Amino acid sequence: MKKTVIFVLLLAFVLIGVVFAEKPVATIYKIKGGITVDGKIDDWKALGIEPTVTLNKKENVAIGKPYWLGPEKQSAKVYVAVTEDKLYVLADVKAPKGLANKHLGREIYQGNCIEVFLGFDNSQPDRERYAETDYQIGISVGQYSKSEGKWKVKPSAYGFNLEKPITAAVIKAVEKPGGYIVEAEIPGSFFSGWDVSDGLEIGFDIGVDDVGDKGLVRKIQMTWTGDADGWKNPKGWGKAIIKSK
């Protein structure tokens, strides 16, 4: 009798582990005509697109949990959409320092920055190394000087694992009380494995890097999955389904 009870308990724990190990799933809408990159959510709302992911819980803090100031000061709603040949991202972020990223190139993750992880061939979702169709890109909000009324460092985008800037990206960053909105259009041609077929399941995650309320170096990173190793290991990514809208 005791052995039976122990077996049942062990089985329950295994099943619970399987449930909690299930990867989160999001929907990325495939649209026609594109979106105007102006730092406004109007186009997205007009299309009926809700936030693809929301980062507002302690479980989302992958790096720097002791420095997280809570959802009222550090959180994000991130919208993602695609057309046949473009990736669109808009992040509505609460961040004490606002448009604060003095870094360039592969160092942009050290400032206020949005990271997007995409894996167009997700046939092996537990892969532990980047495949040729896996990508990590960063979208920097740039560094804006209110006193000088100009950009000291302009917003930019960078492909981390490809180690090259996304020079054709169109980016608009706008400061707002308590944070910022950054919107970007990334050409699909940047991704050699670009595939946005209707119904396709891709590897997917979103990260938000934040310098906090002091200093100009990243204090925390929030991710949709809560995983901190997505930059080197796709195993911790979630997944998204491409759906025509």
Instruction: Walk me through the domains of the chain, giving residue ranges and CATH numbers.
Output: 25-244 (2.60.40.1190)
SS (H, E, C) 25-50: EEEEEECCCCCCCCCCCHHHHHCCCC
Looking at residue 216, its pLDDT comes to: 76
Ranges of the chain whose pLDDT falls below 50 = 1-20
Whole-prediction pTM: 0.91
Residue 134: phi and psi, rounded to 5, are: -105, 140
Looking at residue 215, its pLDDT comes to: 75
Q: Which of 148, 161, 126, 139 is nearest to 236 (CA)?
A: 126
Give the pLDDT confidence of 204-240 residue by residue, as tens digits: 999 999 999 987 799 999 999 999 999 999 999 999 9
Neighbours of 245 (CB within 10 A): 13
